[in-house]
Amino acid sequence: MKAIRLHAFRGLEGIRAEEIEAPRPGPGEVLLRVEAAGVNPVDWKIANGDLQASLRHELPITLGCDASGVVEAVDEGVEDLEVGDAVFGYLDLGRCGAFASHALARAEELAPKPESVSHAEAAAVPVAALTSWQAMVEAAGLREGRRVLVHAAAGGVGSIAVQMAKALGATVVGTASGENEDFVRSLGADAFIDYRTTPFEDAAREIDVVFDTVGGDTQERSFKVLKAGGFLVSIVTPPSETLAHDLGVTTAMIAVHPDGARLRELAMLMEEGRMRATVAQAYPLDEALAALRRSREGHTRGKLVLLPA
Ligand SMILES: NC(=O)c1ccc[n+]([C@@H]2O[C@H](COP(=O)([O-])OP(=O)(O)OC[C@H]3O[C@@H](n4cnc5c(N)ncnc54)[C@H](OP(=O)(O)O)[C@@H]3O)[C@@H](O)[C@H]2O)c1
């Protein structure tokens, strides 16, 4: 099968497209024919070696962790899935493998693909939706009537987070550059801040939850917009505990984990048309490097996906 594999932690230079043998499922696993794979910043971060302290990958590995496809084989211990099922999911980063014509997944990482949604759209969702849920809801307790500031609201995670927060009944403020204003508002944001022209901390006030998808100076300035008792949750860097203590707010940094059961629930929002993926561009698998290069530039609207077929 065709696969995009990392041979050395040298960024995109360490990646090769090659023919390898298809993997065989073991207990609890299924073999997927990958119809589409979502591109995430974590893919090029893994290639840089940025996550080696925790992931300890032994090379070569096939990159990619967001997949949508069709079950081609199941091994023992898999009860809810059958050959021919259309499924999607976030594959654990310890194994990855989605940038290929076939990939292994653990049954509990997968959920049925919503029928109304294409494989390309489905592959754009698992990491973004599970990250948004685990950060905003599970960690920060976002719920109806609360105000959330979503940074990078036009990005892969942010564009899903805005819709999820609206579906929960929250009031949403989103940041992005001005050219993305119409897009972010179309996702349901109640207010928009162009981070290039307006210091967001001058425009956003009394926020219950900040969803930090940017880190650095953006994260530090975000403390100023929180209500006392508010929550800053980051998916990029651990927030300052000193600042949190001084201001009387709570912080967390989370790393998304696979959760097929939750994905199954979030897929209902897609079926109901309340959450949709935005695919900025679909690339053939052979052009994975071009897609990763574009992701690395940091200005994708929605998601990039790869199509193995
Ligand atoms: N911890 C975890 O489990 C976890 C999970 C998922 C993602 N992440 C991390 O979260 C980050 C975001 O991921 P992603 O997939 O959403 O990335 P992405 O799709 O590449 O984000 C691109 C978006 O970021 C916006 N942007 C760039 N700089 C900005 C700024 N200063 N303020 C506001 N918006 C800005 C861009 O908008 P403009 O073009 O308008 O500038 C663009 O739409 C990445 O670092 C990723 O590795 C972590």
pLDDT in tens, 46-60: 999 999 999 999 999
How far, in Å, CA of 128 to CA of 266, rounded?
11
Amino acid identity of residue 13, one-letter, is: E
Q: Average pLDDT of 254-274?
A: 97
Residue 300 has a pLDDT of: 98
Pairing of strands 110-112, 191-194: unpaired
Q: What percent of the chain has pLDDT over 70?
A: 100
Q: Average pLDDT of 225-250?
A: 97
Residue 97 has a pLDDT of: 98
Closest Cα to atom 8, ligand 1: which residue?
235
Binned at pLDDT 50, 70 and 90, residue 309 comes out as confident
Binned at pLDDT 50, 70 and 90, residue 258 comes out as very high
Q: Average pLDDT of 124-140?
A: 98
| Distance of CA 231 from the midpoint of ligand 1 (Å) | 19
Q: Average pLDDT of 71-98?
A: 97
| Distance of CA 155 from the midpoint of ligand 1 (Å) | 5
Contact 111, 87 (CB under 8 A): yes
Closest by Cα among 304, 306, 307 to 159: 304
| Ligand 1 site residues, Cβ closer than 6 angstroms | 40-42, 45, 127, 131, 151-152, 154-158, 175-177, 180, 195, 213-214, 218, 235-236, 254-256, 295, 298-301
Q: Average pLDDT of 235-262?
A: 97
Closest by Cα among 217, 237, 176 to 45: 237
| Tokens representing residue 278 in the block | 């935005």
Q: Average pLDDT of 127-156?
A: 98
Closest Cα to atom 44, ligand 1: which residue?
41
Closest Cα to atom 2, ligand 1: which residue?
255
CB < 8 Å & 24+ apart, contacts of 187-190: 187/153, 187/159, 187/162, 187/163, 188/162, 188/163, 189/150, 189/153, 189/162
Q: Average pLDDT of 277-298?
A: 98
Query: Which mutation among 91, 149, 214 tests ligand 1's pocket best, with the greatest number of atoms within 8 A of CB?
Result: 214
Q: Give the ligand 1 atom nearest the CA of 151.
A: 33
Closest by Cα among 128, 124, 121, 166 to 147: 166
Q: Give the ligand 1 atom nearest the CA of 256.
A: 3
Contact 16, 26 (CB under 8 A): no
pTM (2 decimals)? 0.98
Q: Average pLDDT of 212-226?
A: 98
Binned at pLDDT 50, 70 and 90, residue 307 comes out as very high
| Tokens representing residue 10 in the block | 């040298």
Is the model's pLDDT at 25 over the cut of 90?
A: yes
Closest by Cα among 66, 100, 22, 5 to 309: 100
Residue 118 has a pLDDT of: 98
Residue 112 has a pLDDT of: 98
